[in-house]
């Protein structure tokens, strides 16, 4: 049996931020390496369409810009 500590999604988001995970909605924390497609208000992640919450949109856009900047240069 594996013991899993109980924590909030906010705590989990803080712990995993530097490992490629990003909070994009109050109910969703995603692994950015699994993103397949992005549009204005949602992402496609391994066949699932996940909404990007309004309060998380700016941070998501910033991370996305940094990601594409690294790939272009």
Domain residue ranges in the chain: 10-72
**Cβ atoms 29, 12 nearer than 8 A:** yes
pLDDT for 71: 66
Tell me the mean pLDDT in the region 38-67: 89
Is the predicted pLDDT of residue 56 greater than 60, yes or no?
yes
What lies within 8 Å, CB to CB, of 16 at 6+ separation is: 29
Tell me the mean pLDDT in the region 43-58: 92
What is the residue-averaged pLDDT of the chain?
87
Token output for 11: 């705590």
Confidence class for position 9, pLDDT limits 50, 70, 90: very high
Is the predicted pLDDT of residue 24 greater than 60, yes or no?
yes
pLDDT above 70 covers what percent of the chain?
A: 96
């Amino acid at each position: 049996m594996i013991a899993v500590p109980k924590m909030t999604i906010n705590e989990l988001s803080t712990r995993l931020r530097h490992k490629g995970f990003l909070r994009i909605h109050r109910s969703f924390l995603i692994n950015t390496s699994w993103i397949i497609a992005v549009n204005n208000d949602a992402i496609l992640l391994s066949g699932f369409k996940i909404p990007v919450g309004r309060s998380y949109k700016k941070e998501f856009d910033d991370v996305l810009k940094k990601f594409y900047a690294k790939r272009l240069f």
